[in-house]
Amino acid sequence: MITQDQLASLASRLCPMSVMLDSDGVIESAGPTLQKLRPDALMPGRGFFDVFELNRPRNIRTMEDLLKVGSLKLHLRFQDEPQTSVKGALVPLPGGKAIVDLSFGISILDAVRDYDLTSADFSHTDLTIELLYLVEAKSAAMEASRQLNLRLQGAKIAAEEQAFTDTLTGLKNRRAMDHILDRLISSERPFSIMHVDLDFFKAVNDTLGHAAGDAVLQKVASVMVAETRKSDTVARVGGDEFVLLFEGLVDRKRLDSVAKRLITSLEEPIPYGGHKCEISASIGTTICGRDCYADAVALLHQADVALYAAKRAGKACHYFYEPGLEAESISGAPAPEEESAGSELAGLDRPAE
């Protein structure tokens, strides 16, 4: 006949979350996994109801009451913190004793996390092992999905950024400028448009090649960014044409100051390959105040008319759009064309000292 010690050992191996109770409801032995939940408080010798609070069935306070439960499922939790919930099934033994086998139920994930449990803490036939494997597999799949989504989101952002960026200068491109301009018009906030065209840039390309022209454009871009606010938009809309959008800035003196600073900065010789590239800029500005009802096409046309007037005035200057400029651009002389590479060589492409 099996002894009580042998029965306790067998129960611990087959049911590592079980407790054996004597006829008074005192814990005689506890499974290794259950004891692991309270490593600093040995369970043997303590009353079952001192360790656990029985939530259902209710009004169970003694061992005699507990034995009457029969096959009903027990819903318990620890008396002390953390008050982990467990479920149990009672098996009566001769002499008024009993074995109560416990499990975590749906609280298994919290228990594994809180008590650092592993597969070795459960019976080999316990479905909890399969559940843990499924949870780990699900977690790995979700992490892989999250990483993939992050990469896809990053690729989407990069593609959108590329679609709105001029690859040579890093400035906004024409598409981005159109989008921002439409947003400004829709917001009905005042803003201004500055159209910048480089003077003598063709001579740089003709005398030193397109690589020199690219270097000049990159320098021009850095100058424009340095001379504008972070909230302003600087876009390259053509070979040597740029559009600057100033949200909330419609003061003519401030805009004229910005334009003059740009011209002065752009007239600084740009070194390239032992040469100095000299350019300048003509600038036309139109203002869209609170009473402005023009659309994007009309506003860009106004800035272009002002730029044309600056070109006709001899380049390297700044004009604001005025309604009369349109008539002058029709009846006046054509704007000076870029000089040929040969005539510009002396002034625009000098060997660096």
Q: Is residue 169 part of a domain?
A: no
Judge whether residue 137 has pLDDT over 90.
no
Q: Are both 144 and 86 inside the same structural domain?
A: no
Please give the model's pTM, rounded to 2 decimal places. 0.55
Judge whether residue 345 has pLDDT over 50.
no
Q: Are both 219 and 324 inside the same structural domain?
A: yes
* Highest mean pLDDT pick, 64-73, 109-118, 131-140: 64-73
Of the chain, the end-to-end C-alpha distance in Å amounts to: 110
- Contact of 242 with 220, CB cutoff 8 Å: yes
Judge whether residue 334 has pLDDT over 70.
no
- Contact of 98 with 28, CB cutoff 8 Å: no
Judge whether residue 184 has pLDDT over 50.
yes
In the block, tokens 């506890």 appear at: 30
Question: What is the tally of structural domains in the chain?
Answer: 3
Which of 105, 136, 163 corresponds to the end of one domain?
A: 163
Mean pLDDT for 264-281 is 94
Q: Is residue 65 part of a domain?
A: yes
Position 71 scores a pLDDT of: 77
Q: Are both 86 and 154 inside the same structural domain?
A: no
| Residue 324 in tokens | 């009369």
pLDDT tens-digit readout, 7-29: 778 877 888 889 999 999 999 99
* Highest mean pLDDT pick, 92-96, 125-129, 269-273: 269-273
Mean pLDDT for 206-235 is 94
Q: Is residue 289 part of a domain?
A: yes
Q: Are both 337 and 204 inside the same structural domain?
A: yes
Position 246 scores a pLDDT of: 97
Position 129 scores a pLDDT of: 66
Query: The CATH number of the domain where 321 resides is what?
Result: 3.30.70.270
Mean of all residue pLDDT scores within the chain: 85
Q: What span, in angstroms and rounded, lies between the C-alpha atoms of 45 and 61?
A: 18
CB count in 10 Å sphere of residue 100: 23
For residue 117, what is the enclosing H or E element? none
Q: Are both 38 and 157 inside the same structural domain?
A: no
Which range (114-123, 161-170, 248-257, 267-276) has the least confidence?
A: 114-123
Q: Are both 100 and 220 inside the same structural domain?
A: no
Judge whether residue 339 has pLDDT over 70.
no
Q: Is residue 103 part of a domain?
A: yes
Which range (46-55, 137-146, 222-231) has the least confidence?
A: 137-146
Report which DSSP code applies to 94.
Answer: G
Q: Are both 60 and 114 inside the same structural domain?
A: yes
Position 341 scores a pLDDT of: 34
Q: Are both 157 and 240 inside the same structural domain?
A: no
| Residue 310 in tokens | 């600056």
Q: Is residue 143 part of a domain?
A: yes
Which of these is catalytic: 126, 199, 240, 304? Answer: 240
Q: Which domain holds residue 9?
A: 4-118
Q: Are both 288 and 209 inside the same structural domain?
A: yes
Judge whether residue 66 has pLDDT over 50.
yes
Position 1 scores a pLDDT of: 67
The dihedral of CA 112, 117, 118, 120: what is its sign?
negative
Q: Is residue 168 part of a domain?
A: no
Judge whether residue 351 has pLDDT over 50.
no
Helical axes 108-115 vs 127-163, angle rounded to 10°: 90
In the block, tokens 């096409």 appear at: 297
More confident residue, 122 or 281: 281
Q: Vertex 148, ends 146 and 151: CA angle to 5°?
A: 110
Query: The CATH number of the domain where 13 resides is what?
Result: 3.30.450.260
| Residue 197 in tokens | 């065209």
Confirm whether 240 is a catalytic residue: yes
| Residue 69 in tokens | 């439960």
Mean pLDDT for 107-123 is 78
Which range (184-188, 192-196, 221-225, 257-261) has the least confidence?
A: 184-188
Best CA proximity match to 259, nearest among 302, 309, 195, 304: 195
For residue 11, what is the enclosing H or E element? helix 4-14
Q: Is residue 39 part of a domain?
A: yes
- Contact of 235 with 171, CB cutoff 8 Å: yes
- List strands edge to edge, sheet with 97-103: 27-30, 18-21, 97-103, 85-93, 74-78, 52-56
Position 352 scores a pLDDT of: 39
Q: Are both 103 and 184 inside the same structural domain?
A: no
DSSP secondary structure of 250-275: --HHHHHHHHHHHHHHHTS-EEETTE
Which of 102, 118, 134 corresponds to the end of one domain?
A: 118
Judge whether residue 4 has pLDDT over 50.
yes
Q: Are both 228 and 282 inside the same structural domain?
A: yes
Q: How many CA atoms lie within 13 A of 349 on its CB side?
A: 21
- Contact of 79 with 54, CB cutoff 8 Å: no
Q: Are both 112 and 142 inside the same structural domain?
A: no
